[in-house]
Amino acid sequence: MFDTRLSRRTFLTALGAVAVAPTTAHAAPRSPALRSGGRRVAVLGGGIAGLTAAHELIERGFEVTVFEPTALGGKARSIPSSGTGSGGRADLPGEHGFRFFPGFYRHIPDTMRRIPFQGNPNGVFDNLVAGSAFRMAIPGGPDLTAPASIAPLRPDVLDPASLQESLAAAFSLGGAIPPHELAVFTRKLVMFLTSSLERRHGQWEHQTWSQTLEADGKSPAYRNILVSALTRQLVAARPTVASTRTIGIMGQAFVWNAMGTVPEYGHLDRLLAAPTNEAWIDPWAAHLRALGVRFEMGWAAEALDISSGSITGVRLVDGGGTRAVAEADWYVAAMPVERAVPLWSPRIVAADPRLGAMRNLQTDWMVGIQYFLRRPTPIADGHVAYLGSPWALTSISQGQFWRGDFAARYGDGSAHDCLSVDISDWDTPGILHGKTAKECTAEEIARETWAQMSACLDDTGTGVLDENDVVSWFLDPGVRWDAAQARNTNDTPLLVNTVGSWADRPDARTAIPNLFLAGDYVRTDIDLATMESAGESARAAVAALLEAADSPAAPPARYRLHEPPELEPMRRIDADRYRAGLPHILDV
């Protein structure tokens, strides 16, 4: 441990450190190479971005130290429900929210293949399992179940008319959406698929998903499924504020993945075969330690020192208020946006004015609750979206995907399943207490969430959920009740996309030559707060660091989302129309 009794300039001798920051498809401004030959990297944050950066750097011969104030894995980690295990069993596995690895994720799976796991030829990657269906639970009506994959779409049908027809068949959902409204949706989707990059950034970036889909006046099915479920419940974005560019990028990735048009993509709906720490985070941390990464736990970055245009040290504080300074050659800021922004002092912003724009980025709440049940309750062989639920709920019955006997491994033996639920809307009053989730105590959140799920699942008299089956529940401890204010606070908010926010997001490379950024707020190809964007940004940061250090090591592999070459002629036509000030040819 570094000696905090020395001066505030305590030198980080035995520590090394790590640096990573995400880049994008767009060229980032170059920072000058230091050519210092220094190998010490300090990585500030041990979430997915920080661990990815550490992994890529340690493999390339750098000395890496990760400083993490809370727990490795960040919002992706498991959180044990303390004191619930007995008889040699582990505590019941809570979490911030369930894990979901779409087939178009490629950076995270690539990293997983390089993490050893006993008995797995492909390491942690072999702990991914497939869900075969996606259920949409609708209150007051029959539920809809869609397969996770659709009949392959042939390249020879990628003309606008045939593409719209194929998409209409895929999204018909048993006739739940009126045909004339479905025609609007598919036309808008084809418009985006055939739009030029210029129009995406110049027009769609500044228009909300709800506006583009002309949601006002449409049927509840149209608004609940195509407008809301594809944003609020699937990718944690508000359709009334998220940009069409971002949702369109995610939408087309899901379409190509589901239709099997991209051989490099995996199964659309992939989950872990065990709690996240068991299946991924713990083996990852053990592997990094074996490679030489140092983890300094309990320390949070409080400020960055800068002199002559470069970072000279990071000031740290632990939970007891003890302060120290760590020095390295390179620094990777890999904490969430709300924790990174306070580091940007006036001197830091003067050195890189783009960092000041990050203050415009917004966060929201998307937090999970787990119910541990007395009997297996496989509501669907995959994810469930509770359409029309005020709190925009989604869930996954995890026991069916986890290896081994749940009751024999966790808790006191009475729980046989874990129903993990994500609450995506914390600002709409519920049906039981008439309060928003932010205004409910933990107990009220548990009752309200259960009531909203029951309203969607048990409206046909089938009795899918039985409250007597609940052994216990677990709410993310980042949500804390403030009795004085009669509302919750949240230590782990989530970056949310808003129209025009691309301009406020930085690149992995900064104008400060030894500072790099890694996190889901950095510009990446997957323009959304996800594990994949965190991993992608970290690889971009490492690539920039290698260049700045004049390292001969090859940069980490980076992958682009698929853009069908068959649609390129239509995109060129649209680029000409956009430059001429004309609307998209389908914009009628």
Burial grade of 251 (CB within 10 A; 0-12, 13-18, 19 or more): buried
Domain tally, the chain: 3
Domain boundary among 492, 516, 534: 492
Q: Quick one: average pLDDT of 430-438?
A: 97
Q: How confident is the model at residue 253 (pLDDT cuts 50, 70, 90)?
A: very high
Burial grade of 308 (CB within 10 A; 0-12, 13-18, 19 or more): exposed
Asked if 489 and 483 count as a contact pair (C-beta separation under 8 A), the reply is no
Q: Quick one: average pLDDT of 228-234?
A: 73
Tokens of 354: 């783009």
CA torsion 92-98-99-101 (nearest 10°) is 140
How many residues in the chain? 588
Identify whether 3 is part of a domain.
yes
Q: Quick one: average pLDDT of 103-121?
A: 98
pLDDT of residue 160: 64
Q: How confident is the model at residue 12 (pLDDT cuts 50, 70, 90)?
A: very low
**Phi, psi torsion values for 361, nearest 5 degrees:** -70, 150
- Residue 410 Cα distances to 153, 179, 377, 473, angstroms: 43, 48, 17, 14
What is the C-alpha separation between 263 and 257, in angstroms, rounded? 9
Residues 314 and 290 in one domain: yes
What is the C-alpha separation between 372 and 92, in angstroms, rounded? 8
Domain boundary among 492, 521, 536: 492
Cβ neighbors of 375 (< 8 A, separation 6 or more) are 416, 417, 469
- Per-residue pLDDT reduced to its tens digit, 337-381: 999 999 999 999 999 999 999 999 999 999 999 999 999 998 989
Tell me which of 322-331, 351-360, 519-528 is least confident.
519-528
Domain boundary among 492, 522, 540: 492
- Per-residue pLDDT reduced to its tens digit, 269-297: 999 999 999 999 999 999 999 999 999 99
pLDDT of residue 6: 29
Is the sign of the CA dihedral 32, 34, 40, 44 positive or negative? negative
Burial grade of 431 (CB within 10 A; 0-12, 13-18, 19 or more): middle
Residues 387 and 467 in one domain: yes
Residues 373 and 477 in one domain: yes
Q: Quick one: average pLDDT of 428-436?
A: 97
| SS3 of the chain: helix, strand, coil, percent, to 5 | 35, 20, 45
Identify whether 84 is part of a domain.
no
For the whole prediction, is pTM greater than 0.95? Answer: no
What is the C-alpha separation between 385 and 236, in angstroms, rounded? 12
Tokens of 312: 């000279």
Asked if 44 and 316 count as a contact pair (C-beta separation under 8 A), the reply is no
Asked if 440 and 388 count as a contact pair (C-beta separation under 8 A), the reply is no
Q: Is the pLDDT of residue 401 over 50?
A: yes
Cβ neighbors of 563 (< 8 A, separation 6 or more) are none
Identify whether 83 is part of a domain.
no
Tokens of 518: 């890694």
Residue-averaged pLDDT of the chain: 89
Domain with 433 in it: 366-492
Identify whether 220 is part of a domain.
yes
pLDDT of residue 32: 43
What CATH code is carried by the domain that includes residue 442?
A: 3.30.9
Q: Quick one: average pLDDT of 194-207?
A: 97
Share of the chain above pLDDT 90, in %: 74
Q: How confident is the model at residue 145 (pLDDT cuts 50, 70, 90)?
A: confident
Cβ neighbors of 59 (< 8 A, separation 6 or more) are 291
Q: Is the pLDDT of residue 453 over 60?
A: yes
* Residue indicated by tokens 């592999």: 557
Asked if 393 and 98 count as a contact pair (C-beta separation under 8 A), the reply is no
What is the C-alpha separation between 274 and 117, in angstroms, rounded? 13
pLDDT of residue 143: 78
What is the C-alpha separation between 139 and 455, in angstroms, rounded? 6
The DSSP letter of residue 90 is B
Identify whether 338 is part of a domain.
yes
Residues 228 and 289 in one domain: no
What CATH code is carried by the domain that includes residue 329?
A: 3.50.50.60
- Per-residue pLDDT reduced to its tens digit, 53-94: 999 999 999 999 999 999 999 999 999 999 999 999 999 999
Tokens of 560: 């682009």
Identify whether 539 is part of a domain.
yes
Amino acid letter, 384: V
Tokens of 466: 């039985």
Q: Which of 8, 4, 23 is nearest to 509 (CA)?
A: 23
Tokens of 578: 């956009």
Asked if 227 and 482 count as a contact pair (C-beta separation under 8 A), the reply is no
Using DSSP, state whether 315 is helix, strand or coil. strand
pLDDT of residue 328: 97
Residues 319 and 235 in one domain: no
Q: Is the pLDDT of residue 5 over 50?
A: no
Residues 207 and 311 in one domain: no
Residues 248 and 289 in one domain: no
Identify whether 223 is part of a domain.
yes
Q: Is the pLDDT of residue 18 over 80?
A: no
Residues 204 and 257 in one domain: yes
Residues 488 and 510 in one domain: no
What is the C-alpha separation between 36 and 41, in angstroms, rounded? 13
Identify whether 350 is part of a domain.
yes
- Per-residue pLDDT reduced to its tens digit, 337-347: 999 999 999 99
Burial grade of 155 (CB within 10 A; 0-12, 13-18, 19 or more): exposed
Residues 436 and 509 in one domain: no
Residues 426 and 337 in one domain: no
Residues 198 and 219 in one domain: yes
Q: Is the pLDDT of residue 29 over 50?
A: no
Q: Quick one: average pLDDT of 140-165?
A: 63
Highest mean pLDDT among 25-29, 107-111, 144-148, 562-566: 107-111
**Phi, psi torsion values for 106, nearest 5 degrees:** -125, -30
- Nearest-5° Cα angle at 453, 492 to 176: 110
